[in-house]
Structure 1
């Protein structure tokens, strides 16, 4: 390490966010432009270069974190970029979107604030693009084998880039009109500006990856026809079967799934729409679900000018510090975290009925009621204990003329005919069945990402894309591959 006492002398300092009242007036990223580079070298110097770096184990990509921390501290940005891209195809995505389980596994975090690994990663990625350290890497020769990747989210893109660079001819099929999947239409612009995505797509095109948009395999093209056309198929469609809320009044107008709402707001940012038909402007918004998707809805609704926004989380409010008994280091603990969206709601008082920020914790939805025209007007809830049992005397109602359901996803949707058209075996929970080589029950067809793993993090999606690429390369080349395989299909995050 560049400074053996850096972790003792330098306090943790994160990339500062713009003032809430400023950033909610636009869709730009929430961080102060140019404010990361002046501080990141000293922050990287806090890394202790541990003999056993648990941050490696906490990250499914196996990022070489102490290596590139040391290189950033020494201002060797080119070498840092090489180390970072050796394990991660898209660090500018993970540096903005990942919740950083690597920081939970940082050895320094045992008794001090962890190294700002996520910020350092983002700084390296951005500097690499600015300095031209990430040129396209087309293959030296083609293998003559062809691969179809269905889905262009982080798993599909990572798999496609790895396989293209290995010399295979790869075509990515995307049902939407633009490439990117969840990165394009699910992640709001204020969390990751789409220019970062466009840059990678342009790089992949130059390398030789082909993209087919507005094509739903199973409907626009028969699944068995696609299977016959290619030597291998990778299913990376994500988990699109959203979970429902079966309570009285669900049929009322004005109640929508989060992934009906968020894509429309992203299309406004893309210039496709002048105004979202589900805009929260002037409306009382209730978000059911306490996860990241709910927070994305919150930040979007605030920017659209909602009259109020309240987010319901069925879990009790977590503590600010790790529970060493239930979630010991180096696991990624459930803590009270203040996302940018929650910070905005708190500072702007967007949710007068909620707690310190926009969230009502330990709250369960009982029913919705509406007006004579059949539109939702109120959400009725009850407080619950840690076992989700209703607490007597805690019933209350919130005004709500737009309700967004952010309850997660169970697996790939079946409505397009892809799963049934190929005859894929499916797990009881709805995900695609696969063996230790990521292969499905259909020869030559592989499955990766949320479609097979279930709803997970962007860092796991990229890791699965890299791993399934290695499995496909082995299949096509007769049993060998030089591609890395960071995770297996049955690997899971560290837990107590």
Structure 2
């Protein structure tokens, strides 16, 4: 715990942010560092709750509650409160290989499970987490620590997202020689090309990659396994393989004319923007621009918000974000959404704040379903037709959306960004390896075992569980490394 009376003395303060009107003029990080003093106050709010639930990750009704990597949150909150920053950093790294990734981009299900959140604002756990790791880098405490001995075993990790990086880091610590394959030109997977620069700057990813390289991990980019690197070579050159390729097959909007020009998947939009930004500061023009366009974003989640923020920085003409759900309340429904579940409430994220500062209002439209797209004479989208819907459940618990008569509306749009998630992993490599899949196309590998039907081939992260959180990817990467090490050595010391 932190200070015994801290939760009574201090109010919650989240990570400070730059002024929305100013930050939309550049691609710099929108958040500001929290001072040591404020972070210590936030750590002090951690209470002696007897049975803390913040650090125990689980799924309740399909929604994550608590921390999936079992972060020792009360312990490092107490250390920060006492000014023991280096000890807090060591405690952070015990359970999370990359607290900077979760500190910058995790929705913090740990805070939803905070006991203090039962009757007042929860502890600002993510803010403290980010403060610890950033101080660790600033002070030079985060340094390469290569293994003392090598086992002579070689492991291939396919995919360099958080699952792949966590697996590689753990296996390298165990002394195995690890090679990570990434088909993009930069390491990081969706950490690099799926999360915009102003939310998770590439320098944050890159500095960790440099440490992993210095510790002995080999990264091979611009190489798609199964295409540029034959699967036969995996079997010949490596003793085991871990598949961490993610779930990258997009969901389509089931609406008429959804293949018109100007209708793009959100990840294509975000990937191209980040690559052009990192390559040339957008001067090469190799990206999908929102400049002077009426932009419609379909999807109310974090990726949709990232599209909003990116479009604003392009100087779009107008913005609207469709959410198929009704607007949520400001307080959790303790009957339908009781603690310690993640609170399903109305939130105003960074992109909506920026849209309000530029256009004067929150860009979201609720309970909206897209019916069709209309194009011009050149086959380019010019309108989106929608209808409002109400939601009910049948006797089997299935969702049924009913159109509300008279709620039809036409929206001008020269750019439509589809941000409604992913169906599952791409099947090419999976089929070449003869790996079995489940009905939803994800790899069949039991949680906490991660073994596929093919000996020596493991699977972790979104490729195994479907679209999920960064923190679950790290959890699975660590677990897959543990089981891979057991397979290679007959026993394991990895957690």
Q: TM-score range by the shorter chain?
A: over 0.9
Aligned partners of 1:293 and 1:62: how far apart in 2? 26
Query: Superposition pairs for residues 124-203 of structure 1, below 5 Å?
Result: 124-203=132-211
Whether 1:426 and 2:431 are equivalent positions in the alignment is no
Q: Secondary structure at the match of 1:42?
A: helix
Whether 1:357 and 2:362 are equivalent positions in the alignment is yes
Whether 1:113 and 2:124 are equivalent positions in the alignment is no
- Residues 276 and 287 in structure 2, CA contact (< 8 A), matched pair in contact too: no
- Residues 296 and 415 in structure 2, CA contact (< 8 A), matched pair in contact too: yes
Q: State the match for 1:299 in structure 2.
A: 309
- Residues 36 and 119 in structure 1, CA contact (< 8 A), matched pair in contact too: no
Q: Secondary structure at the match of 2:137?
A: helix
Q: State the match for 1:461 in structure 2.
A: 473
Q: Secondary structure at the match of 1:324?
A: coil
- Residues 41 and 75 in structure 1, CA contact (< 8 A), matched pair in contact too: yes
Q: CA shift at 1:267, angstroms?
A: 1.3
Q: CA shift at 1:49, angstroms?
A: 3.2
Q: CA shift at 1:3, angstroms?
A: 2.1
Q: State the match for 2:16 in structure 1.
A: 16
Q: State the match for 1:288 in structure 2.
A: 298
Aligned partners of 2:2 and 2:444: how far apart in 1? 47
Deviations 1:13-34 (A, max 9, x none): 11221111100001111123x4
Whether 1:451 and 2:431 are equivalent positions in the alignment is no
Q: CA shift at 1:47, angstroms?
A: 0.4
Q: State the match for 1:491 in structure 2.
A: none
Aligned partners of 2:421 and 2:39: how far apart in 1? 34
Q: CA shift at 1:409, angstroms?
A: 0.6
- Residues 309 and 358 in structure 1, CA contact (< 8 A), matched pair in contact too: yes
Q: CA shift at 1:276, angstroms?
A: 4.1
Query: Superposition pairs for residues 404-443 of structure 1, below 5 Å?
Result: 404-414=417-427, 417-436=428-447, 437-443=449-455
Q: CA shift at 1:153, angstroms?
A: 0.3
Unaligned regions of 5+ residues in structure 1, if any?
A: 351-355, 485-496
Q: Secondary structure at the match of 2:203?
A: helix
Q: State the match for 2:230 in structure 1.
A: 222
Aligned partners of 1:150 and 1:308: how far apart in 2? 40
Q: State the match for 1:50 in structure 2.
A: 49
Query: Superposition pairs for residues 308-457 of structure 1, below 5 Å?
Result: 308-349=318-359, 356-387=361-392, 388-414=401-427, 417-436=428-447, 437-457=449-469
Q: Secondary structure at the match of 2:214?
A: helix
Q: Secondary structure at the match of 1:177?
A: coil
Deviations 1:281-302 (A, max 9, x none): 1111101111111111111001
Q: CA shift at 1:246, angstroms?
A: 2.8
- Residues 142 and 168 in structure 1, CA contact (< 8 A), matched pair in contact too: yes
- Residues 224 and 422 in structure 1, CA contact (< 8 A), matched pair in contact too: no
Aligned partners of 1:292 and 1:306: how far apart in 2? 19
* Distance verdict in 2 for CA 1:140–1:318, change over 3 Å: same
TM-score if structure 2 supplies the norm length? 0.94
Q: CA shift at 1:77, angstroms?
A: 0.5
More strand by share: 2
Q: Secondary structure at the match of 2:439?
A: coil
Aligned partners of 1:279 and 1:89: how far apart in 2? 35
Q: Secondary structure at the match of 2:54?
A: helix
Q: CA shift at 1:348, angstroms?
A: 1.6
Q: Secondary structure at the match of 1:56?
A: coil
Please point out which of 204, 207, 212 is paired with 2:220: 212
* Distance verdict in 2 for CA 1:430–1:36, change over 3 Å: farther
- Residues 147 and 233 in structure 1, CA contact (< 8 A), matched pair in contact too: yes
Aligned partners of 1:207 and 1:429: how far apart in 2? 37
Q: CA shift at 1:277, angstroms?
A: 3.4
Q: Secondary structure at the match of 2:374?
A: strand
Q: Secondary structure at the match of 2:422?
A: coil
- Residues 2 and 46 in structure 2, CA contact (< 8 A), matched pair in contact too: no
Aligned partners of 1:130 and 1:92: how far apart in 2? 13
Which deviates more from structure 2 when the two are superposed, residues 381-390 or residues 208-217? 381-390
Whether 1:244 and 2:252 are equivalent positions in the alignment is yes
Q: State the match for 1:90 in structure 2.
A: 98
Query: Superposition pairs for residues 479-490 of structure 1, below 5 Å?
Result: 480-484=491-495
Q: CA shift at 1:223, angstroms?
A: 1.8
Aligned partners of 2:481 and 2:2: how far apart in 1? 36
Q: Secondary structure at the match of 1:369?
A: strand
Unaligned regions of 5+ residues in structure 2, if any?
A: 57-65, 393-400
Q: State the match for 1:489 in structure 2.
A: none
Q: Secondary structure at the match of 1:403?
A: strand
Aligned partners of 1:266 and 1:400: how far apart in 2? 23
